[in-house]
Chains A and B, each alone.
Chain A
Amino acid sequence: MTGFVGHKALYEIARAVNSTLEVRGVLQSIVESVTKAVGAKGCAVLLLTADKGQLTHSADYGLSREYVQKGPVQPTHILTEFADGKNVLMVDVSADARVEYREEAIREGIVSMLSVPMMLGEELVGVLRIYASESRSHSAEEIDFLRAAANLGALALDRAGTHEAIAKANELLIQEAQELARLEVSREYLHGRLREVARELIKLEEGRKDLLRLVYVAGHDLKAPLAAVQAYMAVVLEGYAGEIPDKVLKILKRSSTRVMQMIELISNIMDLSRLEAGQLMSELRETGMESVIKNSLEVVAVEAQQKEIALKKELPQPLPNVRGDELRLQQVLTNLLVNAVTYTPSGGLVTLRVKEKPDEILIEVLDTGIGIPPQDMPHLFDEFFRGSNVEVPGTGLGLAIVKRIVEAHGGRVWAESPCPETGQGSRFSFTLPRQGQAQEEGQQ
C-alpha cells in the first residue's frame, strides 16, 4: 500500500520536476507529496550552503513559520553519518543530543525526525527531513521512496541552476541583440547624416567652384574692353595714327599705364580664382631651374639697368632640378625680383641665390631697398595688402599669388626685413621640395 502511494507521489514529483523549471515550486511539491505519502506531520528541504557550513530551510510543509525561521542547522553530524551511507533518524527529539533546536522542536510538537540526503550524483546538495508527531520508524520501502524523492529534488535544483544560467544567457543575448539593434539604428542614422553632410559639402564645393568660375569669366569680360582700349592707345602711342602733340602723348602714356595696371589687376584676380579652383597649375613634373631663372631675370633686366641696380647671382653649378610647374615657378621668381628692383633705389643691389639643402631647394631674393615696416610683416602675403611705405602702384595680389603657388608646390615662403645679412632692405625666401620628394610629402 505504502509502495503504491510512494510511487504515485514520485510520479507526481517527477512530473513537477519536468513540467516546471521554477525550483521553488518543485521543492514545494516534493515536501507536500512526501508528507502525504508517508503520513508524516511535515517535511522540509534544507539546502547545504556553498561552503557546506550550514543547512537552510528552502521548502517546508506542515511546519509553523516560527519553527522554520528558527535559524540555520549545523550539518556536521549529518554529513558524517551520511558519509557512512546512513540516514539520520532521531526517534526522540527531546532526548537526542544531536538535536540543535530542541525547545523549538518540542514546542512544534515534533517527536521524531528522519533526514535523508539529497544527492546529485556524488555530491550532497541538501537534506530532505521528515517530521513526525510520534516516535516512529520507516520501512525500507519508505526509505527508498524518500531517497528517490530527495534525489529528484536535487535534480530539480540542478536543472533549475542550468535553466537559470540559460535564462540569464538568453536575457544577455536579448539585451545584446537589442543593443545591436540600437547600434544598427544609430549606425544607419550616422551613415545617413554622413551622406547628407557629404552631399552638403559637395554642394558647397560646387558653389565655390561656380563662384570662382564666375570670377574668372567676369575677369575675362572686364579684360576684353580694356584690351581693346589698350590696343588703340598702343596704336596712337607708337605713331600708327600720325603725329600727336607732346602733351597729348604724355596724357595718353599715363592713361595707358593705368589701363595696363587694371589689366594686370584683373589678370591677378583671375589667377587667384584659378589657383583656388586648383586649375592654374599644371601637373608638377621634373623641372630644370635654368630657364626659370633666366626668363625671370630677363623680365627685370631692363628696369634694373635703367635704375643702375646690380643684379647678382649666387647659383650652384649645376642647378638642381625641382618638381614643379615651370611657368608658375617663373611667375613666383619674377614677382619677387620685380618687387626687389621696384623697391630698391638707384645704385642698389639685388641678389638671387639658390641653395641646395639636404631635403629641399632654398631660393632667396635679397635687396638693399626700402624694406618692410614691422607692422606690415604679418600681412605681407594677404590678398590686396599694400605696404604702408610704398608709393609705386601695385595690385596687392602678387605676393598672395606667390604664396599660393609655392604652397601648391609643397614649399614655404617668408620674408625678413631688414635682411639679416646686410641689416638693410629685405630678404624673401621660398623652398621647393627636391625632385622626388614632393610626392612623398603630398601623401602624408
Chain B
Amino acid sequence: MFTITLRTFRRLSQLFFLALFFLLFRLTDYSGLDEIPYAVNIFFRWDPLVAATVLLSAKVLVSLLLPSLFVMALTMVFGRVFCGWICPMGTLLDGTGKVIHASAQSSQSLRPVKYILLGIILVTSLFGLQLVGYLDPFSLLVRGVTLAVDPVFNLLVTGFFDTLYQYAPQWLSNISEPVYGVLQDSVLPYKQTFFQLSTLSGCILLAIVALEKLEKRFWCRNLCPLGALLAIFSRFSIFRRFPKRACRDCHYCAPNCRMNAFDPESRQLRHEECTLCMDCVDDCVNQPSRFRFAVPEGQKQIDMSRRAFIGAGLAGITLPLLSKVDAAHTLPRPFLLRPPGAADGNEFLSRCVRCGECMKVCIQNALQPCFLESGYEGMFTPRLIPRLGYCEFNCTLCGQVCPTGAISSLSQPEKHGFVIGRAVFDPARCLPFADQSPCIVCEEHCPTHDKAIKFQEVTVVNRQGKSVALKQPYIIPELCIGCGICENKCPLPGDSAVRVLRAGKQSEEDGFGYGG
C-alpha cells in the first residue's frame, strides 16, 4: 500500500525541479517578445560553483549570480539537500539507477576525486583559466541536452510524423498531423537544430549515466565538483542525522545508502557525503533514526589527503602555465566569431561557463560550440558560424540568457551597432565579378541602415563577348557589424563568396582585424 513518507516528499521535490529544468529549457527560446520574461538560466545563477569560478577567474562579482548565495545558505543549514532534493542531474541518475543496477561493490576510494577536481578548477580559475564547463553538472546537462538530446528527440519524432505525412494513407495522416501539431506546441523544439560536437556532448552525458553501472550516483559520489563544494559547506550545517552511526548488526541503511556515506569501519555517517535522501529514515526498523537540528561536533576531516590537496593545487597552477604556451592563442583565428555582446577575448573565456544557453536560444542555430579553435580550454564556448546560421539583426536573446555576463545583455540599438566581425568579398568567386552574372543577394539582405553592402554599376564584357551591365557589391567596413547574413544567404554552393572575418573588440587582443 502507498504510504506517504519523507521519501515521497523528496521524490516530489526532485520531480518538480526536474520538470522545472525541462520547462525552463523549453522556454529558452523566442516567445514572440524581444525579451524572455523568465529567468530561464536560474539553474546556473544559483550554482555556487559557477559563481565561485567566475568570481576567481574574471575577478568580478556578477550580480546575476547572487542567487547562488541562497544555495550556499541552504547548504549551511540543511547540508547537501541540493544534491538530494533539487539537482536535476542527481534526479536523472536516481532514475537511471532504477533501470541500471550497480554491479560493482561500492568502495570509497574514488571519493576524494571530486575534491581534487574542485581544487583544480578553483585554483586554475584564480589564474584566469576557466575549466568549470567541463565538470559543472548543469553545464554538462544543458549542453548535452541542447547539442545532442533535444535535436535527436526532435529528429525521431518529426521523422516519424513526416513519414506518416508523406507515405501513409490520407485518413492516417489526418489523425497524425493534429497530434503532431499538439506535440509541436508543447514538448518539441520549434525547429530541428544541428550542432557541431553533438556526438561528443551526447557521449559525455551518456558516460555519466553509464557510470551508474559501477555505483549508485557514481558521478555525485566521486566526480561532481559542485557536490564537493557543497560537501565542504555542509560541514557547518546544523540539520543532521541522529544517531550518527548505523546500528550494529543491521543491514538496512548503510549498505543501501545511495551516497555510500557510512564509514565501513566505524559505521559513522560522513555528514558531508549525505544528500538527505531520507531513505535511511524511512527504512529504519530498529531505533527511530531521524534528522534533527544539532550542533556539529566530532567531525572527521574531509575525505582528502594532504598530498591530494597539494597535488590539486600544483595541477591548478600548472594548467594555466601550459595554456599560456599553447599556440592556439597566438595563431590568428580570422573566422572565430563570438556572439554579439561577448566580452573581449580573455575576459570572455574566463567568464564563459560553457553552459550552452546561448546556443540553445539562438534562433538561427548560428551559435555553435568551439572545438579546439581557442585551445582545449575554449572547447564548447560559443562561436558564430554564418554559413550555418546568421546573427538575426533585431535579436538579443543570447545576451539575455547568459548567466555570467560573458555575453552582455544588449539593448536593440546597442546590438545594431555591436561589431562581431566584418564581411569581405572574394571576387574570385562572387558571381558579378567572376561570372559576370547578376546576383547581389547579399546587398538585399544586409540589415544595417545605411546598408554596409552597396554596389557599383559597371559594364563589363562577358565570356560571350557581350557587353553587360552589372551590379558589383562592395563592403563599407564602418557600417558592417558582421552579422553574417550575407555569408549565409550567398547562393554559391559550398563556401560563400563573402565571408565574415573577426573584427572589433574581439580582434584587438590578437592584433588581427580587417578594416579597423
Indicate, yes or no, whether A interacts with B.
no
| Residues in chain B within 8 A of chain A (CB atoms) | none
| Residues in chain A within 8 A of chain B (CB atoms) | none
